[in-house]
Amino acid sequence: MARKPRLHFPGAVYHVTLHGNGNQHVFLDDTDRTRFLLFIQEGIEKFGHKVYAYCLHSTNLQLVIEVDNIPLSRIMQQLGFRYTRWFNDWHGQAGHLFQGRYKAILIDPEPHLLDLVREVHLAPVRAGNENDPMRYAWSSHRAYCGREKVPWLSIDRPMLEIEETGIKALMKFHSYVNEGSQKPASVDFTRGSEFDPRILGNDEFVRGAMKLSRQKYQPKVNPEKVLRIVLERYKLTEEELGAPGKNRLCAEARAYLAWLYLETGCGTLTALGEQLGRDVSSLSSAVRRLQIKAKKDEKVADKYQKLMNRVRR
């Protein structure tokens, strides 16, 4: 299934994560980490984006980036390429360092930016590597608290939400981050919203982001509507659809239903599997077989399109 295109517009803020290939270490020592931060600085000077927070772990890294005119894809491509080339030369290695392409969630900064910065700084604590984020040398937390200087780090926008100035603001920020370690994260910043998995924000923010990115907005689809349309098309009840056995008509209906779930984003296959009493891997395999068949059989493709047209009405 084709990936949805990246979202880009000047001022877009992203939570970016990048993992080592096969969970391998991407930072072997402090020299590696120092060099990576240098590449971040050089990228900022070249492309004009802002970095609000960072945290470097042995096998992965997190960044909070606000772009200008240059899209995030170009920024991350250059950063990953330059560091990989340096790492392989320095350590006498070869091959891919990072696992596929980076993951980026576009976030609504108004309600989420400060909390996201806190979660990035708390990553070593939540991983059990430190008790105090101030003791972790390879995140931006110490810079926010005035313990070190990182000239290229942009801290003004997140700190606007700390209603103090000077040393009081630094102390309040540190307390705010530490308080977060005493409770689970209020928001899961590794995934988007129910409206679009690429975007973390409410429906209004998603609409605006799609418009600015010149992409067509697809409104949230009710999973009950999708289920009803499939049941009507196949003249089945929900009980019949989920009944055990290998009835071909029911199997076909479940495959189309799961395909519509994936394409509309109205729900997960896990949730559908629980509802129908079916294994999620079986649903996923059924969808894949149906998609392959649709490429060769116009009737299969036409049936799917007619179902989708009804869903989108």
Contacts of 152 (CB under 8 A, 6+ apart): 40, 41, 44, 45, 51
pLDDT beyond 90 at 149: yes
Which residue has 């240059």 as its token pair? 70
Query: H helices within the chain, ranges in order?
Result: 30-47, 72-91, 109-126, 141-144, 156-159, 166-180, 203-212, 223-234, 238-242, 248-264, 269-276, 280-296, 298-312
CATH domain 13-212 topology: Alpha-Beta Plaits (3.30.70)
Query: How confident is residue 189, by pLDDT bands cut at 50, 70 and 90?
Result: very high
pTM greater than 0.95 (yes/no): no
| Domain ranges (residues) in the chain | 13-212, 223-312
Q: What is the pLDDT of residues 37-48, one digit of tens each?
A: 999 999 999 999
Looking at the chain, the whole-number percentage of residues with pLDDT higher than 70 is: 96
Across the range 181-206, mean pLDDT stands at 86
Q: What is the pLDDT of residues 227-239, one digit of tens each?
A: 999 999 999 998 9
Max CA distance (Å), the chain: 70
pLDDT band of residue 99 (cuts 50, 70, 90) is confident
Q: Using alpha carbons, select from 124, 110, 138 the residue that is nearest to residue 181.
A: 124
- Are the C-beta atoms of residues 34 and 106 closer than 8 Å to each other? no
CATH of domain 223-312: 1.10.1750.10
